[in-house]
């Protein structure tokens, strides 16, 4: 069995920091959400809502894969909006008034000007933790479990059956608007430029969905028990370990569906937290 400890340490640091920062931000934002919004369950969604989301997603995949130039611009616009939104949420924990918006705008500018792996990952930590913190507070834990299961199956189908997730990832890489973490392997450094990043050639990519979905479940539990939230976060790291082990022991190294093993252990953590609470 092959296990690359240094690579796992690198990916676990950015994954873990995102979970910790997201839970911390959500815990501080929790009083603002309690009583002001209702938690969302699947009963609050209609088939029409899911249809709209599905159509939007497939249009997004079609545009970005067929029209490379337009898709590249679209990726960069969407990523900039996400960076601004996520960063603003994180900085609103410490700053007031218009300062979170100004700092978030500064983060977006720095992201596009300082195009190296270190800056990219640092901004992704802020972005994903901020989005996970705000969205997770809107959902019931059981609903997030359903989402983890559904998107895990979708991840398997889109990677191994249809392959469109791989095409989408390639289009994202070509646009250099990578919504996820870039992990340098041996011989590579966080000082390397994003323009040098090619998956399988000294770099690994951990998608944002593989990080934010476990965070959503942890955050959704904060209104019930911070202990349960922490247990789920710990088990999500165990899931990351499982995913990393599977990835490095492939006979032929190729892109894999990372969410299923992470989701499996995250859900196990949730079930165990119910017993231990």
Select the more confidently predicted residue: 166 or 237. 237
Tell me how far apart the alpha carbons of residues 91 and 119 are, in angstroms, rounded to a whole number. 17
Tell me how far apart the alpha carbons of residues 255 and 163 are, in angstroms, rounded to a whole number. 10
pLDDT in tens, 109-153: 999 999 999 999 999 999 999 999 999 988 899 999 999 999 999
pLDDT in tens, 183-209: 988 778 788 888 888 777 788 889 899
pLDDT at 64: 59
pLDDT at 203: 85
Identify which of 21-30, 37-46, 240-249 has the greatest average pLDDT: 21-30
Contact (Cβ atoms closer than 8 angstroms) between residue 178 and residue 198? no
Q: Please state the pTM of the whole predicted model.
A: 0.88
Select the more confidently predicted residue: 201 or 79. 79
Helix axes 208-220, 117-136, angle to 10 degrees: 40
pLDDT at 61: 62
Contacts for 223-226: CB closer than 8 Å, 24+ residues apart:
223/30, 223/33, 223/34, 223/39, 223/137, 224/141, 225/273, 225/277, 226/27
Identify which of 63-77, 82-96, 166-180 has the greatest average pLDDT: 82-96
């Amino acid at each position: 069995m092959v296990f690359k400890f240094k690579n796992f340490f690198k990916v676990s640091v950015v994954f873990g920091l995102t979970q910790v920062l997201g839970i911390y931000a959500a815990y501080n934002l929790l009083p603002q959400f309690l009583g002001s919004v209702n938690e969302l369950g699947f009963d609050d969604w209609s088939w029409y809502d899911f249809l709209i989301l599905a159509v939007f997603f497939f249009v997004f995949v079609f545009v970005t894969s067929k029209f490379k130039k337009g898709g590249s611009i679209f990726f960069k616009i969407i990523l900039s909006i996400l960076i601004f939104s996520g960063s603003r949420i994180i900085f609103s924990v410490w700053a007031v008034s218009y300062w979170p918006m100004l700092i978030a705008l500064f983060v977006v500018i720095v992201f596009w000007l300082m195009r190296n792996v270190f800056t990219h990952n640092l901004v992704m930590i802020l972005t994903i933790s901020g989005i996970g913190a705000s969205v997770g507070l809107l959902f019931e834990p059981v609903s997030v479990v359903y989402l983890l299961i559904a998107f895990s199956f979708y991840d398997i189908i889109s990677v191994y059956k249809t392959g469109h997730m791989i095409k989408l990832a390639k289009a994202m890489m070509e646009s250099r608007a990578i919504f996820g973490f870039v992990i340098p392997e041996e011989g590579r450094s966080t000082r390397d430029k994003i323009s040098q990043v090619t998956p399988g050639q000294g770099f690994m990519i951990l998608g944002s969905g593989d990080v934010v979905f476990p965070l959503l479940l942890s955050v959704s539990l904060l209104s019930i028990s911070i202990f349960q939230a922490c247990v789920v976060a710990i088990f999500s790291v165990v899931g990351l370990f499982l995913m990393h082990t599977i990835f490095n022991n492939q006979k032929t190294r190729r892109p894999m569906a990372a969410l299923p093993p992470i989701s499996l252990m995250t859900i196990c953590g949730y079930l165990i937290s119910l017993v231990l609470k």
